[in-house]
Structure 1
Amino acid sequence: MYSHDNRIVVTLDAGGTNLVFGAMRANEFIVEPITYPSQAHDLDKCLETMVRGFLEVIARLDEKPVAISFAFPGPADYPNGIIGGYLPNFPSFRDGVALGPFLEMQFGIPVFINNDGDLFAYGEALGGALPEVNTRLEKAGSAKRYRNLLGYTFGTGLGVGMVVGGQLNRGDNSCVETFCLRHKKMPGIICEDGAAIRAVKRVYGELSGCPDHGLEPKDICEIADGTRPGDAEAAKKAFAEFGEIAGDAMATAVTLTDGLIVIGGGITAARKWIMPSLLQELRSKMHQLNGNELDRVQMQVYDLDDPTEFDAFAKGDMRPLKVYGSDRYVAYDPQKRTGVMISKLGASKAISVGAYAYALSRLDEN
């Protein structure tokens, strides 16, 4: 969708350290990115930087953009473009800033702001994982198609977005979140403390006996891979626990959403150490008081990046079913199934595609 649209949307990757400005046409960037320090502790300087960055991008374009659309980290009243609340990376916004209306007043075009997890999921649903899987299913001769998607970003936090029936579900309060679900091993703690960058660093420090190691997940992944000195077993277990805690949160969410799962973020580089425990958690069992055993997720869970598993996912359990009282048969596939895959677009590109598509979809509605 929108991959052949000639309209231009100006974008922003808003981080606590840097603001990266760009512009998209037909789902692709058309100018070199412009980067400025965020000045996140000073509201006047931050807003001044935003205006300067957008002005510079617009000056490079060969026609006027139709909108500004971007992601902002943290809680907000996104439908009204108001940023406020607990914002560790943007402390000067905590008391509330009408950012959307401010930018609309400055540039005279519509401004759309969303949560980064929401835009990641929306980008993957329109131009990434969802169309990719459905195309592969069609080529495999399967009649199965998917319209629902959960998108997770693994990074500083545990971001999530939800697309239902091809539409972004932002909720009634712009508050579709899973970071605050219970931590499987520490029920009084949020799951994000077990499924974020800080979790990998903490668990590696605890298991290796070096809590002040100063390493980043990339370093710890290299230790697990055996290409860097360190405690390899502690590194592997740190990523495995990450996968377990993330998988537990996903199991709750996908049970309620009944769609596919796509994961993005830098930590996915450690996929081979994360995915086994994540999949094991999604495929785990629960019990009734009478002892009956049930699947934790009421769908069979497949690793869609594994060719053999994808073939089984596409095949399902199709069989002929006789219509009672007649000689007629219908095709019947009783297998309920879902799948997990790593983003091929990458989190940053998917968020930008989501921002672009969201702006155009809103303009088309109006």
Structure 2
Amino acid sequence: MAGKKVQRKLSSAAVELLNNKPMLKTERPILGLDIGGTNIKAGVLVGSELVDIRMIETPSQESQEYILETIADLIGTYLHHDFFAIGVGIPGLIDTDLGIVLNLENIPSFKRVHLREFLELRFGKPVYINNDANCFALGEYKFGAAKIYKHVVGITLGTGLGAGIIANGHLYCGFNCAAGEWCSAPYLDQDFEFYCSSKFFYAKYHAKAKSLSKRAKDGDKEALRAYAEYGHHLGELIKNILYTLAPQAIVLGGSIRKAYPFFRESMLANIATFKYPSVSANLKILISELDETGIHGAVALVDEYAVPAEPVEKSI
């Protein structure tokens, strides 16, 4: 019995250490960019802290050349930090081998953009680019609540629906970053993005998710019903993920996560109907607590791919 108590104490100490320290392989400065259709955010990871966080408006309707120069101008203001590499998170499909952004819905001119080549030629530093939802999952695994799990799916709930996969402790992207695109999977008369993003509230309740959340806090019955229905649909998505990957944990991010108390019960009730209780009963649902998930994910991308792992000592 004494041995078991010691083991529990050691495990708790290990968990506490993981919760307080990012799972990084380097402490060298890294610049992270979170490029979206509305804003571009940037920050530098120094040690284990993000510093000098800035945001500019995305000139989304301008030409590709103009937008690239806008990004370069922002990066240029960070050169005094002497960062060794740049990580970029951006929506859409990415050819990660060549660093090409294949398309970006909210920025019409961003089609087949050789972003890595442009930035590496301009700044002479390695650049790593990936889908923003993949970056979110990796950022949560490196910095957030998912550190203690090897198999994780990160889901972003907002204007759209995104997902990233951590498999056996590493980011899994699939071909052209298309892995985890449950948003486009058919569901009912639409797809999962329609029912698990803010589109659902617009279409079914003619209101914004945020305004319904405020009404739900005041006990408004229609708002509470809207979120209960939303939770049921999200539970269906999570069951699909369980059948596909059987992760240990799912991390919810995006603006809708803040309304979690209003859709938690119906979501969990649906998950409880999953065919394999040994999987669903052990699933951990985590809510992101990172303030700058996009930037965290971008710098985590550099740490994942640019920094070699510690060599393993082989016994003779």
Q: Which has the higher contact order (CA 8 A, sep 6+)?
A: 2
Alpha-carbon contact 1:117-1:159 (below 8 Å) kept: yes
Question: Which of residues 82, 87, 101 in structure 2 aligns to 1:69?
Answer: 87
Question: Which of residues 172, 175, 181 in structure 1 aligns to 2:175?
Answer: 172
1:322 aligned partner: none
Q: What are the equivalent positions in structure 2 for 1:106-145 lying under 5 Å apart?
A: 106-131=122-147, 134=148
Tell me the secondary structure at the aligned position of residue 113 of structure 2: coil
* Structure 2: distance between partners of 1:37 and 1:200: 26
Q: Which moved more, 1:240-249 or 1:261-270?
A: 240-249
* Structure 1: distance between partners of 2:254 and 2:49: 19
- Name the larger-Rg structure: 1
Structure 1 position 265 matched with structure 2 position 288: no
CA displacement, residues 14-65 of structure 1 (integer Å, 9 cap, x when unaligned):
1112212221123321214142433444212111100100001224x2xx21
* Structure 2: distance between partners of 1:261 and 1:18: 27
2:162 aligned partner: 159
1:354 aligned partner: 297
- 1:179 to partner: Cα distance: 0.4
- 1:265 to partner: Cα distance: 1.2
Rate the CA distance shift 1:300–1:3 in 2: closer, same or farther, 3 A. Answer: closer
- Find runs of 4+ consecutive structure 1 residues off by over 4 angstroms: 1-4
Structure 1 position 345 matched with structure 2 position 290: yes
Tell me the secondary structure at the aligned position of residue 183 of structure 2: coil
- 1:161 to partner: Cα distance: 0.5
Rate the CA distance shift 1:88–1:69 in 2: closer, same or farther, 3 A. Answer: same
Structure 1 position 299 matched with structure 2 position 278: yes
* Structure 2: distance between partners of 1:255 and 1:358: 27
Alpha-carbon contact 1:40-1:92 (below 8 Å) kept: yes
Rate the CA distance shift 1:130–1:18 in 2: closer, same or farther, 3 A. Answer: closer
Q: How many residues in Structure 1 have an aligned counterpart in Structure 2?
A: 286
RMSD (Å) for aligned C-alpha atoms: 2.1
TM-score computed with the length of structure 1 as normaliser: 0.73
Tell me the secondary structure at the aligned position of residue 79 of structure 1: coil
* Structure 1: distance between partners of 2:38 and 2:122: 24
Alpha-carbon contact 1:2-1:27 (below 8 Å) kept: no
Alpha-carbon contact 1:283-1:297 (below 8 Å) kept: no
Alpha-carbon contact 2:246-2:279 (below 8 Å) kept: no
Rate the CA distance shift 1:20–1:354 in 2: closer, same or farther, 3 A. Answer: closer
- 1:255 to partner: Cα distance: 2.4
* Structure 1: distance between partners of 2:55 and 2:269: 42
Rate the CA distance shift 1:173–1:4 in 2: closer, same or farther, 3 A. Answer: closer
* Structure 2: distance between partners of 1:30 and 1:3: 16
Tell me the secondary structure at the aligned position of residue 307 of structure 2: helix
Tell me the secondary structure at the aligned position of residue 156 of structure 1: coil
Q: Which amino acid aligns with 2:133?
A: G
* Structure 1: distance between partners of 2:217 and 2:272: 26
CA displacement, residues 225-282 of structure 1 (integer Å, 9 cap, x when unaligned):
227xxxx222222222222222211111122222211101111111111111211221
Structure 1 position 33 matched with structure 2 position 54: yes
* Structure 1: distance between partners of 2:238 and 2:87: 28
Unaligned runs of 5+ in 1: 135-145, 206-214, 285-294, 303-336
Rate the CA distance shift 1:41–1:50 in 2: closer, same or farther, 3 A. Answer: same
TM-score computed with the length of structure 2 as normaliser: 0.84
Alpha-carbon contact 1:12-1:69 (below 8 Å) kept: yes
Alpha-carbon contact 2:36-2:58 (below 8 Å) kept: no
Q: Which amino acid aligns with 1:359?
A: V
- 1:98 to partner: Cα distance: 0.6
Q: Which amino acid aligns with 1:353?
A: H
Unaligned runs of 5+ in 2: 1-21, 310-316
2:4 aligned partner: none
* Structure 2: distance between partners of 1:39 and 1:338: 39
1:48 aligned partner: 69
Tell me the secondary structure at the aligned position of residue 281 of structure 1: helix
1:149 aligned partner: 152
Q: Which moved more, 1:107-116 or 1:27-36?
A: 27-36
Question: Which of residues 239, 244, 248 in structure 2 aligns to 1:251?
Answer: 239
Q: Which amino acid aligns with 2:191?
A: I
* Structure 2: distance between partners of 1:364 and 1:3: 9
2:210 aligned partner: 218
Q: Which amino acid aligns with 2:89?
A: A
Q: Which amino acid aligns with 1:75?
A: L
- 1:79 to partner: Cα distance: 2.9
